[in-house]
Chain A
Amino acid sequence: MTPPRILIVDDDETHLACARELLEAEGYRVEVHLTGFGATERMIRTRFDLVLVDMNMPALSGEGLVSILRKRVHAPGVRMFLYSSNDEDALRRAASRLQIDGYVCKGDPEELRRKVGRALGMPRAGGAGR
């Protein structure tokens, strides 16, 4: 069984590298994209199971990107999460406004593992740190 594919879109390289490493350690195949621009093309080319989108990106915000993805990319199986350092309330509201699958607050590795695992139906194989 091929592992689920995840795309992370974030303009912050540190956050990008961290999230990638955390999720790869969980056994996912992870790709990253450094700006809102071009993410759409990437999603059309590759079928991802989950996309994590940062909220605060220059020129094309996460919200803007998600609405474009919703319109342009006909990928029914793709789940989308907002992934941001913003206030949790703001994230929750934005996710529900955009009618996407949810959000993950940056800075909580366990929450990232749990929410991603649940969304992709991956059984948690024991504790972290594999």
Chain B
Amino acid sequence: MVRAQQTPGALRAAEPSPHRGEVLGEYLTGDDRVHPEDRVQKVAGIFFERPDLEAVALVREDRAVGLLTRSRLLVKLARNFGHELYARRPVTRIADLAPLALPEDTPLAAVLDRALARPAATVFDDVIAVTDAGAYVGHASVRELARQQGFALERSRLEHENALSRTRDLEELERVRARFLAHATHELRSPVSAIAVLAELIRMGCDRESLEQVRTKVPMLLRASATLRATVNDILDLSKLEAGRMDVAIGPVEVAPLVDEVAALARLLLGEKPVEVRVQVPDGLVVRSDPGKLRQMLVNLASNAAKFTDRGAITIRAAAAGGTARFAVADTGCGIRAEDLPRLFVPFGQLEDAHTKTHAGTGLGLVITRSLASLLGGRVLVESRRGEGTTFTVELPGGAHPEESP
């Protein structure tokens, strides 16, 4: 007996596999049939003509009444006088008249359990599949079923691994969210705290009737409010983008005035720093895009450049060719190390070494810029060299449309 094979745990474990179609009917290896009254000789002829044939069912009026496997036939005929004894007899004389027959919708694992529970002599005999009404459908090789079961196990292992990796992705997402929340909390609460304390100090100044004490607080109060406003706007923009609620209004955009405005803002942010702001825009360039979003992206990139550039130049370029509009903001600032590039577009990923953190900012500008670009069907590219400078390029569909010049 080989009952040890009867119900291997691993096969059992695969039973609840979610795959459709993992039932006996899906894995039939043949539906060859002979009549129970057919002579052994005739049936042997069929087997000899078809070397691939492993078994035939004995079928009378749709009912499978027996099974004859190639090995059983060979064993019977190879015996002394086997041929003489059986050749002219009906095939029922040598067939297995109580084969394992199961409904065609029996799950694979259950079929194997039943098949492998049989005595050693018949353990690998084909299993007959029948309809609910008991009609013969076909037969399936147990070896083939076991092989399929192996595939199913492999599939379920893969599925398990996929599920695990999805879980890991979700956990990573969860970590990113938690980090985002922690940063957002701090970035929001910090200016709020400052405003609350400044208000208290102003109150104290008023109590003392010290105009000087009040006067020194007002610029700080304005700065803290502006910081808070910017952070709130950025977080709300990002939420809107992530929720897919950001509206897009595409229309002709006159590029030169827009870029000039952005350049003026950059000059303002640069203050006294020896940095020249240059603009390179072809005359009369008009592109089709969302003017508000385009402005927001360029403002983000230009204010970043102004923040991180202490000397040299910031160049804002625009061009359109082949249906693509390109806007580049190039600076001669501190640059970004190659290994830090992936963190650029991470919320609050502002590269916090002692130098860069001295620059204000929500750390959301680039994330928003990239989201806006993809919202408009484009992308943001970055090229940078530590110590030499950085160029951000926004590529958008909707190249030059001079005919729509307003």
Question: Which residues of A does B touch, CB under 8 Å?
Answer: 11-12, 14-15, 17-19, 21-22, 25, 35, 37, 56, 58-59, 84-87, 90, 105-109, 128-129
Contact of B192 among A12, A21, A84, A107 (CB under 8 A): A107
The answer for the CA separation of A19 and B223 in the assembled complex, in Å, is: 17
Contact of A85 among B193, B204, B358 (CB under 8 A): B193
What's the least CB distance linking B334 to chain A, in Å? 14
Interface bracket on B: 20 to 34
What's the least CB distance linking A79 to chain B, in Å? 21
What's the least CB distance linking B183 to chain A, in Å? 9
What's the least CB distance linking A104 to chain B, in Å? 11
Q: A14-B220, A58-B358, A129-B207 are in contact. Are A19 and B197 (CB under 8 A)?
A: yes
B220: chain A residues at CB < 8 Å are 14, 17-18
Residue of A nearest to B196 (CB): A107
Q: A22-B201, A86-B185 are in contact. Are A58 and B196 (CB under 8 A)?
A: no
What's the least CB distance linking A54 to chain B, in Å? 10
The answer for the CA separation of A17 and B213 in the assembled complex, in Å, is: 12
Contact of A18 among B182, B185, B197, B356 (CB under 8 A): B197
A90: chain B residues at CB < 8 Å are 182
Q: Which residues of chain B from 187 to 232 have a CB within 8 Å of any chain A CB?
A: 189-190, 192-194, 196-198, 200-201, 203-204, 207-208, 220, 223-224
Closest 6 CB pairs of A and B: A107-B193, A58-B357, A106-B193, A85-B190, A85-B189, A59-B354
Interface-central residue, B185, B204, B358, by most chain A CB under 10 Å: B204
The answer for the CA separation of A56 and B358 in the assembled complex, in Å, is: 12
Residue contact B223 to A14, C-beta cutoff 8 Å = yes
The answer for the CA separation of A37 and B354 in the assembled complex, in Å, is: 10
Contact of A22 among B200, B208, B357 (CB under 8 A): B200
What's the least CB distance linking B146 to chain A, in Å? 56
Residue of A nearest to B213 (CB): A21
Residue contact A14 to B194, C-beta cutoff 8 Å = yes
Residue of B nearest to A11 (CB): B357
The answer for the CA separation of A22 and B185 in the assembled complex, in Å, is: 24
What's the least CB distance linking B32 to chain A, in Å? 73
Residue of A nearest to B208 (CB): A129
Pairs A–B under 8 Å by Cβ, sample size 12: A15-B193, A18-B220, A25-B204, A37-B354, A58-B354, A58-B356, A59-B352, A85-B190, A85-B192, A86-B182, A87-B182, A108-B193
The answer for the CA separation of A18 and B217 in the assembled complex, in Å, is: 9
Contact of A87 among B185, B196, B204, B223 (CB under 8 A): B185
What's the least CB distance linking B162 to chain A, in Å? 35
Residue contact A22 to B182, C-beta cutoff 8 Å = no
- Residue B353 is within 8 A (CB to CB) of chain A in the complex: yes
B354: chain A residues at CB < 8 Å are 35, 37, 58-59
The answer for the CA separation of A106 and B195 in the assembled complex, in Å, is: 10
B157: chain A residues at CB < 8 Å are none
Residue of B nearest to A86 (CB): B186
Contact of A59 among B182, B207, B353 (CB under 8 A): B353
Residue contact A107 to B208, C-beta cutoff 8 Å = no
Bits for B81-122, please: 1 = Cβ < 8 Å to A, else 0: 000000000000000000000000000000000000000000
Residue contact A107 to B189, C-beta cutoff 8 Å = yes
Residue contact B185 to A15, C-beta cutoff 8 Å = no
B189: chain A residues at CB < 8 Å are 85-86, 106-107
Residue of A nearest to B219 (CB): A14
B207: chain A residues at CB < 8 Å are 129
The answer for the CA separation of A22 and B196 in the assembled complex, in Å, is: 12
Q: A17-B220, A35-B354, A59-B354 are in contact. Are A106 and B197 (CB under 8 A)?
A: yes
Interface-central residue, B200, B203, B353, by most chain A CB under 10 Å: B200
Residue contact A109 to B182, C-beta cutoff 8 Å = no
Residue of B nearest to A55 (CB): B186
Residue contact B353 to A58, C-beta cutoff 8 Å = yes
